[in-house]
Amino acid sequence: MKKILILLLIPICSLSQDKDYNKLIPQKDGRYAYEEVVIVDSIKKDDIYVAAKRWMVDNFKSVKDAIQLDDTEAGMVIGKGFFTFEKSSMMTNYEYWIRFSLEISAKDGKYRIRVYDIIPEEHDASTPLKQLLFERPISVMVSYTSKGAMKKFYKKSLDNINDYILQTIASVKKGISKKNDDF
């Protein structure tokens, strides 16, 4: 009987294994940042640069405000973007505004995508008196995933941030690989 009970508990224990939120969002030099080098043998640096800039024009609301560095000679464009998502927890509605920097650096046959300076800002919108906006560093959010009443909230928030940034990187890659329309 004890053997059967132990065998029945094994699947339950294995389901309770959590993600390691310390590793969900990558770190480089002690800072949270995503980085990927993409090899594209047949594309020249200038073409990658133009495609990267076109991607920013198509995906950032105000390119004049978003593009922070635009260096044709170096083949580099850096923009600042943001996205939002809403989350409810314990009778409180939160809206997160996630600011980030996106760098695309081009060389002949390859380019690098970097997403860094990821800054979540928590906006408590549950009541007019709580119209507060404050930064909640990712390191703090990660530390809250293992303790406290809000751990599910922070886990979901980190999952949302990770998913959005991975979708952004995939979108950049798709935009750069898109063939030029030679009308």
Task: Read off the CATH number of the domain in which 164 is found.
Answer: 3.30.530.80
In a domain, 1, yes or no: no
In a domain, 102, yes or no: yes
Domain membership flag for residue 152: yes
Percent of the chain whose pLDDT exceeds 70: 75
Establish if 129 belongs to a structural domain. yes
Least Cα distance to 95 among 181, 52, 157 occurs for 157
Question: Distance between CA atoms of 175 and 183, rounded to whole angstroms?
Answer: 18
26-47 pLDDT, tens per residue?
888 888 899 999 999 889 999 9
In a domain? residue 107: yes
pTM, to two decimals: 0.80
pLDDT at 177 over 70: yes
In a domain, 89, yes or no: yes
On whether residue 10 sits in a domain, the answer given is no
**b/e 99-110 (16+ beta carbons within 10 angstroms → b):** ebbbbbbbeeee
Q: Give the pLDDT confidence score for residue 142 in this predicted structure.
A: 84
- Helix runs in the chain, H state only: 2-15, 21-24, 45-59, 63-66, 138-143, 151-177
- What range defines the domain where residue 78 resides? 31-176
